[in-house]
Amino acid sequence: MEKPTIIQLSEYDVTQKIIEALTNVCTRAVLFSIIHDPKDATQIAHEVHISLSSVYKTLSTLEDLALINVNNYRISEEGKKIKLYKSKIGQVVITIKDTEPILRLYANPGKSNK
């Protein structure tokens, strides 16, 4: 079965998915590493000491949740186009009211090249 896209999810499901993603240490490390400067997956893996495959999986999840975007590209020495990722959010606030989570995402104030 194919996983639902962000548009197919209800607002609660999106909130729940984002909260679940942000409880993961790997996800937070990747997200925090690209708040100020756009980086490629290899740079992120080296900086946060996480395997490259885990970084790619995390970036995919963050992209699906619309928390990051591809800020720009660079060309490798081999001529390959390499994505540079940047966080779209600068702060997250999660509160619980009447047993329901309330998620507030604040835009990343950092400058974007896109």
Q: Which residue has the higher pLDDT, 50 or 15?
A: 50
Q: How many alpha carbons lie under 13 Å from residue 28 in its C-beta half-sphere?
A: 8
Which CATH architecture group holds 11-107? Orthogonal Bundle (1.10)
pTM of the model: 0.79
**92 pLDDT higher than 80:** yes
Spell 74-93 as b/e; 16+ CB within 10 A means b: eeeeeeeeebbbbbbbeeee
What's the rounded mean pLDDT across residues 4-21? 70
- What pLDDT, on a 0 to 100 scale, did the predictor assign at position 76? 85
